[in-house]
Amino acid sequence: MANVQLVILLTSVALVVIGLYSAIFIDNIIKKIIGISFIEEGVNLFIVAIGYKAGGVVPILMPGMDTSWFASNAAYPLPFGLVLTSIVIGASTLAVMLALVMVLYRRYGTLSTKVMLADTSKKEEYDE
Partner 1 sequence: MSNTTIRNLLAGILTAIFSATLFDAIFHISDMIYPGVSFIYNTLGTQIAPNMVTVVIFDFRAYDTLGESIILLTAGLVVLLIFGRGLLGDKR
Partner 2 sequence: MNELIPLMVIVPLMAALLISAFSKFNTVTKIFAFVVAICLPIIPLLSNYGLHYFGGYEPMINDAVKMMYHPAITYSFTFLQQIFIGAVGLLTFLVIFIYLTKYRKVSGPYLFLLFLGTAAVTAMILTDDIFHMFVFFEILALAQVGIVAASSIDYSYEMALKYMVLGSIGSPMMLLGIGFLLALTGSVNVTDIAAAVHNGLVDATSPVFLLSLALIFFGWLYASGLPPFHTIKSGIYSKAEPHGAALLQSFTVISMISIVLIMFRIYASLPIFEVLIVFFSILAMILGVSLALTQTDFRRMIGFLAVGELGFIGLGIGLGTNFSITAGLFQALNEIVITALLFIGFGAIVNATNEVDTRKLGGLLAYHPKVAIMLLIGGLAMAGVPPLSGFQSKLMLVQASLSCGFPEISILAIMVSIATFVVFVKTYYTMFLKPKPNDLELEGKDVPRAMIFAMGVLLIIVILLGIFPDVVTNGISNFVGGIL
Partner 3 sequence: MLEIILCIVIILSAILALIQKDLLKAAILTGIAGASVAVLFQVLLAPDVALTQAIVEGAIIPIFIALAVKKTQRSDG
Contact 44, 53 (CB under 8 A): no
Stretch that binds partner 1, among 31-39, 69-77, 120-128 (CB under 8 A): 69-77
DSSP conformation class of 58: -
Q: Give the residue among 101, 80, 92, 104 at the shortest CA–CA distance from 37.
A: 92
Q: Give the residues lining the site for partner 3 (CB under 8 A).
A: 2, 4, 7-8, 10-11, 14-15, 18-19, 22, 26, 28, 30-31, 33-35, 37-38, 41, 44-45, 48-49, 51-53, 56-60, 75, 80, 83-84, 87-88, 91, 94-95, 98, 101-102, 105, 110-111
User: 116 to each of 8, 14, 106, how far by Cα in Å?
Assistant: 37, 29, 11
Which CB, 110 or 123, lies closer to partner 3? 110
